[in-house]
């Protein structure tokens, strides 16, 4: 029978755990069986004692309240994580836009710089023509 069982992890504060432990001890059940009985409403101790049923009902409501508190806490954590994710995406978008602006500025500056460079201008062609017209000794003696 234990081969068909799976493990479920329930997170609780130390106080909640101790409270569940006390309730389970008073009912002479394991904490696991107490939670299963409370959540799934399986009660192997089927006595018709109304005092016992009232006690079970209060235990059930206590456990349900613990689970509701945990669920609310998880919902808050999910909302916070969603907000952080939104902020991170916005920052990433702003960074990408800033990088694009800087790249655009850099390309403009290099274009302006290349038009002002005398080696790239047409004057360079004139100097190469002078260089070709002079012979070897003419260039050597600068005549």
For 5-15, write each residue's pLDDT tens digit. 888 888 889 99
Greatest C-alpha distance within the chain: 126
The pLDDT value recorded for residue 126 is 53
Query: Among 56-60, 83-87, 121-125, which stretch is predicted with the lowest mean pLDDT?
Result: 121-125
pTM: 0.39
Distances (CA, A) of 72 to 9, 49, 65, 75, 77: 17, 35, 10, 5, 9
Say whether pLDDT at 27 is over 90. no
In this structure, what DSSP letter does residue 4 have?
Answer: G
pLDDT-derived band of residue 69, with 50, 70 and 90 as boundaries? Answer: very high
The pLDDT value recorded for residue 11 is 87
């Amino acid at each position: 029978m234990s081969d068909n069982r799976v493990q479920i992890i329930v997170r609780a504060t130390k106080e909640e755990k101790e409270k569940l432990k006390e309730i389970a001890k008073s009912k002479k059940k394991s904490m696991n069986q107490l939670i299963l009985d409370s959540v799934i409403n399986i009660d192997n101790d089927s006595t018709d004692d109304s005092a016992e049923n009232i006690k079970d009902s209060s235990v059930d409501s206590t456990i349900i309240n613990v689970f509701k508190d945990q669920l609310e806490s998880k919902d808050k954590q999910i909302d916070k994580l969603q907000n952080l994710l939104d902020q991170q995406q916005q920052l990433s978008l702003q960074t990408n836009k800033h990088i694009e602006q800087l790249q655009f500025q850099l390309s403009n500056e290099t274009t302006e710089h290349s038009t002002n460079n005398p080696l790239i201008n047409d004057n360079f062609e004139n100097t190469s023509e002078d260089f070709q017209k002079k012979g070897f000794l003419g260039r050597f003696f600068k005549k």
